[in-house]
Structure 1
Amino acid sequence: MEEQQHLEAIMGLIMYGGNAKNDAMGTIAYAETGNFELADQKIADAEESLVQAHHSQTGMLTQEAQGNHSQVTLLTVHSQDHLMTSIAFTDLAKEIVVLYRRMDNE
């Protein structure tokens, strides 16, 4: 993978991962106030950002599988960590919404 393309993929992971985490945090805030319609929209936005991040990651993995190795830098590691944290946070936000819905129904 060309260095510029690799950097763009890394930045995609960071940017879309950050967007997903931000939307997941918004999900929790809306659920806390009982606004489940907006909570559902925010979680959908988070999931869309994760899809975009996965596209960046898939491009990097495809290049690696084709033998086009890239140097692993601290920025690369950071981008993967950022994505994984965002995935975990989004999954947790979904569970928190379930709990708030349950509390709202009682």
Structure 2
Amino acid sequence: MAAPKELRVSKDRRLLTVTFPAHAPIELSAELLRVVSPSAEVQGHSPEQRVTVPGKRNVTVSKLEPVGNYAVRIVFDDGHDTGIFTWSYLHTLGHEKDQRWQAYLDELAAKGLAR
């Protein structure tokens, strides 16, 4: 996957816009990015260990840190900074954001948790 030509955080820090060459910009909320972080803290080391992360409705992006030529580390205002978001993962999130968001909302409801 080619690197995006632009990563832009909104003024309120709640939205990341990713623009890949020859693709329309992808808008991803900070909340979605935080709750689907590719970190072991969220994903675990197997599907059974994956964690449903509640209470992130108001999370924001504090900063973006490049990781080589293949990814970005997103630092969130709640201190979470261990997810390495590859270009491929960001691209996938852009195409699957509605399904992943609904799955997250369903998990919260099933576990009696709140955003």
The alignment's TM-score, normalised by the length of structure 2, stands at 0.30
If asked which structure has higher relative contact order (CA below 8 Å, sep 6+), I would say 1
Q: Higher helix proportion, which one? A: 1
Computing the radius of gyration from Cα coordinates, the structure with the larger value is: 1
The alignment's TM-score, normalised by the length of structure 1, stands at 0.32
